Amino acid sequence: MADYIELLCSKTFSRQVFPVTILSSLEDPLRSLETLFHLSTENDDHMNISLKAVSKIALLSSGFALAGAGCVADNEPLRPGQDPFGNGDQVAEPGGGAPPPPIVVDPNVATADAPQPAVFAQDQVNPSNLIVSGDSIYWVESARNSVKLKWLHVDGGETFHATGLNSLPFSTAADDAGLYFAASSEQNIVFAPHLGLDAEPLHASVTDPLAIALTEDYAYWTAANGCLFQGAKEGGPAVILGCAPDAATSLALVNGVAYMATTEGALYRAELEEGGAFDKIASDEDFGNGLVADASGVYWVDSANRQVRRYRHTSGVVSVLAGSQFSPIAVAQDRFYLYFSTQGDGAVKRILKAGGAVEVMAEQQDEPGELVVTDEFIYWINEGDGSVMRLLKNYNY
């Protein structure tokens, strides 16, 4: 195997603007990419883009897929007979079907101190787009030019997968009917019913869709051109609700309002109706991997400044909920808590939305990244070893 490979990335979503050639060591390509990208942009005050965004921009701009254990061209054909995953999952039958009978795993082996995290699914290949819907947890697995939508009953059991996805989606949302994908490379919003193969485009010829979120009747998504779109869940024409000057890579909805974060560190507030207000409410931020919102505020992790931050609706002020964190990456929420992962110290943590001390829920994790929460559990992806983890959340850690 060669010692190095070459990735052609771009500092914007345009395919013509300022390409940067990055040589990434196969031993640690993610860290090499992050280091070299920041070196190449250290004199550019406007390029505070997280590593997650950089890897996805590389995918969109150059046709390369960034894998957790190496980088390979996504248009490189597989060798005859080669299985890009090879982990023995059950293949879903066409048309879907009932979930597998639950085989209850025990993720909460109590110790004298606290419940311990357990491996919920292991040896996954570059898992991403983690989401819980209904009684299943879903994620997307990608290897070379192959992509799989995978799921597992929330109580454990066999892992199933569908092969209906044609490309790695930038983001995913879900409701009771199924999953919605912002398929940037396909220029589509794609819908896949629960536990089935019948993925189909709902909104075609969409220019570089990025972040996606749902209400009862509509799907909303952002695009590389900075615009916010609204489209009916059953498909049909989409309308533009407003546009920011920069690509918006994160989106959260609450109480008829959308909050979108851009690659230039701006936070926008948009009313979910044509002709509604569309305003910039914060700037010079670093939004890490997504944001969440509730009736009180908007929350995100600031990887550059090692913080968990909050914007209050009532005051319009951005404040620090938690500081001095080690490479915070992603954030999720329930009614009372914010949950976040920190890759620098391999931990999953939480803090009350009202403020207080940070509680460490899990330690010694292998590069914890995306996470989601349910009423009982918190799930996250360990990017280092490709595992999906689960832990009881209702405990006084």
Are 221 and 327 found together in one domain?
Answer: yes
Instruction: Give the start-end residues of each E strand in 234-386.
Output: 238-243, 248-254, 257-262, 267-271, 278-282, 291-293, 297-302, 307-312, 318-322, 328-333, 337-342, 347-352, 359-362, 368-373, 377-382
Are 69 and 104 found together in one domain?
Answer: no
Last residue of a domain, one of 73, 108, 134: 73
Segments forming the whole domain that contains residue 233 = 100-392
One-letter amino acid of 220: Y
Last residue of a domain, one of 56, 73, 90: 73
Residue 88 domain flag: no
Are 268 and 346 found together in one domain?
Answer: yes
Mean pLDDT by 10 residues, the chain (397 residues): 31 29 36 37 37 39 32 35 40 37 39 79 94 91 85 86 80 92 88 74 85 95 94 91 92 95 93 88 87 96 92 94 94 96 96 94 96 94 96 84
Are 53 and 148 found together in one domain?
Answer: no
Are 229 and 273 found together in one domain?
Answer: yes
Are 314 and 176 found together in one domain?
Answer: yes
Q: Whole-structure pTM over 0.85, yes or no? A: no
Report the b/e string of 226-255 with b at 16+ CB within 10 A.
Answer: bbbbbbebeeeebeebbbbebbbbbbbbbe
Residue 82 domain flag: no
Residue 329 domain flag: yes
What total of structural domains would you count in the chain? Answer: 2
Residue 280 domain flag: yes
Amino acid 113: pLDDT? 66
| Among candidate residues 159, 13, 5, the one with its CA nearest the CA of residue 76 | 5
| Cα–Cα distance for residue pair 36/68, rounded to 1 Å | 17
Amino acid 195: pLDDT? 64
Are 60 and 106 found together in one domain?
Answer: no
Are 37 and 105 found together in one domain?
Answer: no
One-letter amino acid of 158: E
Residue 79 domain flag: no
Are 131 and 167 found together in one domain?
Answer: yes
Residue 83 domain flag: no
Are 326 and 379 found together in one domain?
Answer: yes
Residue 85 domain flag: no
Residue 89 domain flag: no
Are 300 and 264 found together in one domain?
Answer: yes
CATH code of the domain containing 260:
2.130.10.10
Are 307 and 266 found together in one domain?
Answer: yes
